[in-house]
Amino acid sequence: MMKKPLILVTGGAGYIGSHTVVALQQAGFEAVIVDNLSNSTVEVLSGIARITGIRPHFAQVDCCDRPALAGVFDAWPGIVAAIHFAASKSVGESVHQPLKYYHNNLQSLINMLDEMLHRGIAHFVFSSSCTVYGQPDRLPVTEDAPVKPAISPYGNTKQICEEIIRDTAAAGFALQSILLRYFNPIGAHPSAEIGELPVGVPQNLVPFITQTAAGIRKELSVFGNDYATPDGSCIRDYINVVDLARAHVSAVNYLLEGKNTAPVEAFNIGTGRGLSVLELIALFRQATGAALPFKIVGRRAGDIEQVWADPRKANSALGWQATETIEDTLRSAWKWEKRIRGIND
Ligand code: UD1
Question: Can you give the CATH number for the domain in which 215 is found?
Answer: 3.90.25.10
Q: Are both 221 and 255 inside the same structural domain?
A: no
Helices (H) and strands (E) in the chain, counts: 11, 13
Asked whether residue 35 falls in the same domain as residue 131, the answer is yes
What secondary structure letter does DSSP report for 3?
P
- SS3 state at 218: coil
| Cα torsion angle, 285, 246, 152, 144, sign | negative
**Ligand 1 centroid to 91 CA: how many Å?**
9
The atom of ligand 1 lying closest to the CA of 277 is: 29
Our answer to whether residue 154 is catalytic in this structure is yes
Q: Across residues 138-148, what is the average pLDDT?
A: 97
Rounded to an integer, the average pLDDT of 268-297 is 98
Q: Is the CB of 94 under 6 A from ligand 1?
A: no
Q: Please tell me the residue having the least CA distance from ligand 1 atom 38.
A: 303
Angle between helices 98-119 and 153-170 (to 10 degrees): 20
295 and 156 housed in the same domain: no
Give me the chain's average pLDDT, please. Answer: 97
195 domain-assigned: no
Domain shared by 124 and 229, yes or no:
no
Domain containing residue 42: CATH number: 3.40.50.720
Does residue 259 sit within a domain?
yes
Which of 203, 229, 326 has most ligand 1 atoms within 8 Å of its beta carbon, as the pocket-test mutant? 203
151 and 49 belong to one structural domain: yes
Q: Which atom of ligand 1 is nearest to the CA of 131?
A: 11
Q: Ligand 1: does its nearest atom lie under 6 Å from the Cβ of 131?
A: yes
pLDDT by residue (tens digit) across 7-35?
A: 999 999 999 999 999 999 999 999 999 99
* Rounded Cα gap, residues 172 and 327, in angstroms: 46
DSSP 50-112: HHHS-PPEEEE--TT-HHHHHHHHHH-TTEEEEEE--S---HHHHHH-HHHHHHHHHHHHHHH
pLDDT tier, 2 (very low <50, low <70, confident <90, very high otherwise): confident
pLDDT digits (tens, 9 = 90+) for 227-275: 999 999 999 999 999 999 999 999 999 999 999 999 999 999 999 999 9
Domain contains 192: no
> Could you tell me if 256 and 306 lie in one domain?
no
Q: What is the DSSP string of 106-159?
A: HHHHHHHHHHHHHHT--EEEEEEEGGGG-S-SSSSBPTTSPPPPPSSHHHHHHH
Q: Is residue 57 included in any domain, yes or no?
A: yes
State whether the beta carbon of 332 lies less than 6 angstroms from ligand 1: no
How many domains in the chain?
Answer: 2
Residue 155 CA: nearest ligand 1 atom is 11
**C-alpha 97: how far from its chain's center?**
21
Q: What is the pLDDT of residue 146?
A: 96
Q: What mean pLDDT is predicted for residues 111-127? A: 98
Does the Cβ of 204 fall within 6 Å of ligand 1?
Answer: yes
Domain residue limits at 279: 205-235+273-313+325-340
Question: Is 211 close to ligand 1, i.e. is its CB under 6 Å away?
Answer: no
Q: Which atom of ligand 1 is nearest to the CA of 185?
A: 6
Does the Cβ of 236 fall within 6 Å of ligand 1?
A: yes
Q: How confident is the model at residue 344 (pLDDT cuts 50, 70, 90)?
A: confident
**Active-site choice (154, 182, 238, 254):** 154
- Do both 17 and 97 map to the same domain? yes
Is 295 a domain residue? yes
> Is residue 12, in this structure, part of any structural domain at all?
yes
Does position 131 have pLDDT exceeding 90, yes or no?
yes
Measured in whole angstroms, how far is the alpha carbon of residue 259 from the centre of its chain? 23
Alpha-carbon span 178 to 128, nearest angstrom: 9
Q: Which residue's CA is minimally distant from atom 28 of ligand 1?
A: 205
How would residue 1 be classed by pLDDT, with cut points 50, 70 and 90? low
Q: Is there a single domain that holds both residue 130 and residue 224?
A: no
| For the chain, percent of residues with pLDDT exceeding 90 | 97
114: Cβ below 6 Å to ligand 1? no
The pTM score is 0.98
Q: What's the rounded mean pLDDT across residues 264-287?
A: 98
